[in-house]
Structure 1
Amino acid sequence: MRQVKWTGVYPAVTTKFTPNGDLDIPTFLKNIEFQVEAGVDGMVIGGSLGESSTLTHQERLVLVEATLAAVGDRIDVILNVAEGATRKAIELVKAAEKLGVHGLMLLPPMLYKPTEQEVADYFKDVATSTHLPIMLYNNPVDYKIEVTIGIFEQLMQLSNIQAVKESTRDISNVTRMRNRFGDRFKILCGVDTLAMEELLMGADGWVAGLVDAFPRETVAVYRLVKAGRIEEALRIYRWFLPILELDINPQLVQNIKLAEVMTGIGTEYVRAPRHILVGAERERVIGILEKGLATRPELPEYLSINVAEYA
């Protein structure tokens, strides 16, 4: 079994569709190749940015199988699991495990506001059904369920629960987790506009969104920060921030897919009930992206940075 690193940049990849709404595997893999060439360390398939709520289990497995065949020997391939029922989550986990997926990102049970103990027990039940390494997703802003310190305390003995996608929007939560658990859980920032800040506070990685359109800039920021080259990273990050803010928006999927079109590595097709951007909002987003592309910074030779030397 592959050892998932849970460090570095993990794109939350968008799911590519044809105009009639079917999976578009060739375009999906084209984008993934750009990500790998830019130096990403893994990727999360079928997450919220991947239009998770519109995907069937079978479609998720098709995406996993295609990704493993294309790049599974080079990066960590992680499947998002977002289910309302424990039984359905375990069914998906077992099917993905058979295909050879490297790890899982696991959300709290959806479509119901569970108690703290129900959340803890859900995570325990899914984790004990598999040997796959797991990253929990802590996003109380969007999903109204917080994975509290108390829940993490209950999960410490489950060795395959190894990481957290930290999306509380509270930068101090990185320090809070470190103070309580040391290095027991890897911490990956899940909010693009807080990534450099959380990396400076000790986060291990970045589950990124705008990386789908700007992979080189994203990986450069990560590696420069870890190498202590803060001024160089900050120069890129300041340029990047207006674009990164497209990630903290209800229409982040449409925003990022439009950005992928404008950088030549994606398509704009979404699944209903989503619509592509139109009108004034479309023009606003295009304006942000055009300005960013016109002033795109020259990057240092970031791929030569061996982050492990600075750990």
Structure 2
Amino acid sequence: MEFTRKEAKQWALNKVRGLYMCPLSPVTPDFKFDEAGLRENIEKYVDMGIDGLVVGGFISECWNVKPAEWNRYHEVVADAVKGRMDLWTIILDPEVSVAVEKMKFVETLGYNGAEVINPVIQLRTDDEIFDWFKYVTDRSDLAVCLYRTPVSGKVLGVDLMNRLADIDTIIGAKQGELNRAVTLRLRRLMRPDFIVMEPSEYWFLDEQRVGGQVLWGELSYMLYGKKRHLVKDYMRLSAEGKHEDARKAWLGLEGVRTYYEEEFLWTIAATATYAGALGTLKAWYEAIGLKAGPVIPPVRSPSRERFEQVAAKLRELGVA
């Protein structure tokens, strides 16, 4: 661990910056995690200049595997990264002792934090949810990012978030409501050392000027393929105060950004799940040279025709 419990918020303010991506998981034809493919992808993520990986959640298909497979996946990621990127897990378990057990396990592997969803079943009142998080954080030293999302069944309110923010190890929240106004409002209402994390690349240029410090918990930068350099370009140009040039770089992603939003973000918004978008993302990964393979059943894998359709669109966009 790079910090003590009391230091967690300041550590996150200094460390959790830039591009924190949620990668897809490569899967073998017999629906096991492809460890060699996972290691190969991680080398490419390092070359891309990604600042942190947030693994173990919906996009990585870790909700749909056995506990031993979940553990092995996190071991392989940690071994492959070898300290070259900040590592976070994602905790989706409503059973509190399982959540704690997983967090203790990844802490031994060198992970610094966990994005944690509030229980998707049973617990709905503010007091119940607070008590659940208090139980977890009392038993783990990991930094915790709240996963504020409709997928959980209850979107955390401001009063509850302010209570949770007073816990030493809770350092921020992924604002997954797909509502920009809410992101800005939360920044006004939360304590200044609590990071409100925007997960939409569409807003990331604007984020450079209004207090945002991290593009958290999505994968657009990876998917942009041959155009991903434009993200780093507009980040650099904005930091240099060259705002018009930064906007030109941002506009260079317009076509692929729209395709990403239509095929991924709006599918999530319509279904309140990630499962329906995974097939397209697997095809996208393969088209840009990353290992992907099939989707783990019972979620359907895309047809070969769909793989070819996605690849053709990405070639047209200059991405693949």
User: What is the TM-score with the length of structure 2 in the denominator?
Assistant: 0.82
Question: Is 1:10 the counterpart of 2:10 in the alignment?
Answer: no
Equivalent in the alignment of 1:305: none
Aligned residues of 1:210 and 1:243 also touching (Cα < 8 A): no
Query: For 2:234 and 2:68, how far apart are their aligned partners in 1?
Result: 35
- Structure 1: runs of 5+ lacking an equivalent: 297-311
User: Pairwise mapping of residues 246-265 of structure 1 onto structure 2 (< 5 A)?
Assistant: 246-248=263-265, 249-250=267-268, 251-265=276-290
Aligned residues of 2:174 and 2:199 also touching (Cα < 8 A): yes
Distance 1:67 1:288, change over 3 A: same
Look up the equivalent residue of 2:277 and give its one-letter code.
L
Distance 1:170 1:55, change over 3 A: same
Equivalent in the alignment of 2:247: 231
Distance 1:114 1:223, change over 3 A: farther
Q: CA deviation at 1:59?
A: 2.1
Question: Is 1:178 the counterpart of 2:187 in the alignment?
Answer: yes
Query: For 1:292 and 1:143, how far apart are their aligned partners in 2?
Result: 34
Q: CA deviation at 1:120?
A: 2.0
SS at match of 1:135: strand
Aligned residues of 1:7 and 1:186 also touching (Cα < 8 A): no
Query: For 1:276 and 1:195, how far apart are their aligned partners in 2?
Result: 31
Look up the equivalent residue of 1:205 and give its one-letter code.
V
Query: For 1:192 and 1:112, how far apart are their aligned partners in 2?
Result: 33
Aligned residues of 1:83 and 1:109 also touching (Cα < 8 A): yes
Query: For 2:208 and 2:260, how far apart are their aligned partners in 1?
Result: 16
Equivalent in the alignment of 2:172: 163
Question: Is 1:242 the counterpart of 2:266 in the alignment?
Answer: no
Distance 1:274 1:225, change over 3 A: farther
Equivalent in the alignment of 2:301: 276
- Could you tell which deviates more after superposition, 131-140 or 216-225? 216-225
SS at match of 2:119: coil
Distance 1:225 1:253, change over 3 A: farther
Q: Choose which of 137, 148, 153 in structure 2 pairs with 1:144.
A: 153
Q: CA deviation at 1:19?
A: 0.4
Aligned residues of 1:81 and 1:106 also touching (Cα < 8 A): yes
- Structure 2: runs of 5+ lacking an equivalent: 3-10, 269-275
Query: For 2:170 and 2:318, how far apart are their aligned partners in 1?
Result: 39
CA deviations on 1:165-198 (whole Å, 9 max, x unpaired) are: 1111111222212212253212222234444455
Q: Choose which of 10, 32, 48 in structure 1 pairs with 2:58.
A: 48
CA RMSD after TM alignment: 2.5
CA deviations on 1:8-59 (whole Å, 9 max, x unpaired) are: 1111011111000111011112112211211111011112111132123322
Equivalent in the alignment of 2:68: 58
SS at match of 1:79: strand
User: What is the TM-score with the length of structure 1 in the denominator?
Assistant: 0.84
Tell me the number of residue pairs that the alignment of Structure 1 and Structure 2 aligns. Answer: 294
